């Protein structure tokens, strides 16, 4: 019994060890696989910036999700044209429109574009109305010519008033500009005068320094010349004394 029990115990221990080793291998392999997958997955930082292609791609995907908007008809309202009060016109009466429409029409948009295309104005000059066209438009709207003349005179007076204001402003501006220019020139002259005075002082100082240096050089040259003259005189006096001594010796020798 003891041997049988011992054999069963040893077998159980071996089986437990084998099972534990298998489980550890499976666990380690799964852990390694998970770590490898985690390392291969590119984690995007919160500070990273999307590229242009990514941004455009997302925008295009979002744009595809939005359905298109189309129009099938166009509604046109006609307003009555009356005399205006804006004096910015070159001549003649100014025009404006009322707030309440007189007619309303609804057209198919394709038909409207087909009819409107040859009549569409393409430049700013075509949008302006001439003097006679404005007169004809107001007469066609049933306005009295005397009222149109009054409107024209009021616009002319307002234009003249504006021109006077502009001329006054321009003259005042010219006066201010002239005063600024004179002030600037005066300040410039003062600054330049100070600079010139400083330059003159520096020039005078430089000339005085040059004079002093010239005097010192002249005195040094004179001293050197005096020294040379004295040395020459002493040398000549030495020679004369030597000649005199030799002459005296010759005379004494002859006497003997």
Most confident option among 11-25, 97-111, 190-204: 97-111
Least confident of 102-106, 157-161, 236-240, 251-255: 251-255
In this predicted model, what pLDDT tens digit does every residue of 10-19 receive, in sequence order?
A: 555 555 554 5
Least confident of 90-99, 147-156, 227-236: 227-236
Reading the block at residue 237, the tokens are 């006096």
pLDDT at 224 over 60: yes
Least confident of 90-99, 134-143, 220-229: 220-229
Q: In the prediction, which pLDDT does 7 show?
A: 52
Percentage of residues of the chain with pLDDT beyond 70: 62
45 — pLDDT class (breaks 50, 70, 90): very low
pLDDT mean over 163-192: 73
User: Is 75:135 a contact under the CB 8 Å cutoff?
Assistant: no
163 — pLDDT class (breaks 50, 70, 90): confident
Q: In the prediction, which pLDDT does 104 show?
A: 92
More confident residue, 1 or 54: 54
pTM summary value? 0.39
In this predicted model, what pLDDT tens digit does every residue of 124-138 receive, in sequence order?
A: 777 888 888 888 889
More confident residue, 33 or 220: 220
More confident residue, 199 or 143: 143
Q: In the prediction, which pLDDT does 23 show?
A: 47
182 — pLDDT class (breaks 50, 70, 90): confident
Q: In the prediction, which pLDDT does 77 show?
A: 92
212 — pLDDT class (breaks 50, 70, 90): confident
248 — pLDDT class (breaks 50, 70, 90): low
From residue 234, alpha-carbon distances to 57, 174, 202 in Å are 112, 88, 48
CA dihedral sign, ordered 101, 103, 109, 113? negative
User: Is 108:145 a contact under the CB 8 Å cutoff?
Assistant: no
pLDDT at 252 over 60: no
């Amino acid at each position: 019994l003891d041997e049988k029990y011992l054999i069963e115990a040893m077998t159980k221990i071996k089986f437990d060890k084998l099972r534990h080793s298998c489980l550890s291998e499976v666990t380690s392999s799964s852990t390694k696989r998970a770590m490898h997958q985690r390392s291969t997955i590119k984690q995007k930082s919160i500070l990273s910036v999307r590229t242009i292609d990514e941004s455009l791609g997302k925008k295009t995907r979002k744009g595809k999700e939005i359905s298109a908007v189309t129009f099938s008809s166009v509604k046109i309202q006609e307003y009555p044209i009356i005399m205006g009060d804006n004096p910015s016109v070159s001549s003649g009466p100014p025009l404006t429109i009322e707030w309440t429409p007189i007619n309303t029409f609804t057209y198919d948009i394709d038909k409207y574009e087909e009819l409107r295309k040859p009549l569409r104005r393409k430049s700013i000059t075509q949008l302006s109305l001439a003097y006679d066209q404005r007169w004809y438009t107001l007469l066609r709207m049933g306005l009295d010519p005397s009222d149109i003349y009054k409107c024209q005179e009021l616009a002319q007076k307002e234009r003249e008033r504006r021109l006077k204001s502009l001329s006054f402003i321009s003259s005042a501006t010219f006066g201010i500009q002239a005063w600024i220019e004179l002030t600037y020139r005066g300040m410039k002259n003062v600054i330049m005068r100070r600079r010139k005075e400083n330059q003159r002082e520096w020039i005078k100082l430089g000339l005085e320094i040059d004079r002093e240096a010239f005097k010192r050089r002249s005195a040094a040259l004179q001293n050197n010349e005096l020294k040379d003259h004295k040395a020459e005189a002493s040398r000549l006096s030495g020679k004369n004394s030597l000649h005199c001594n030799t002459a005296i010796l010759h005379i004494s020798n002859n006497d003997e």
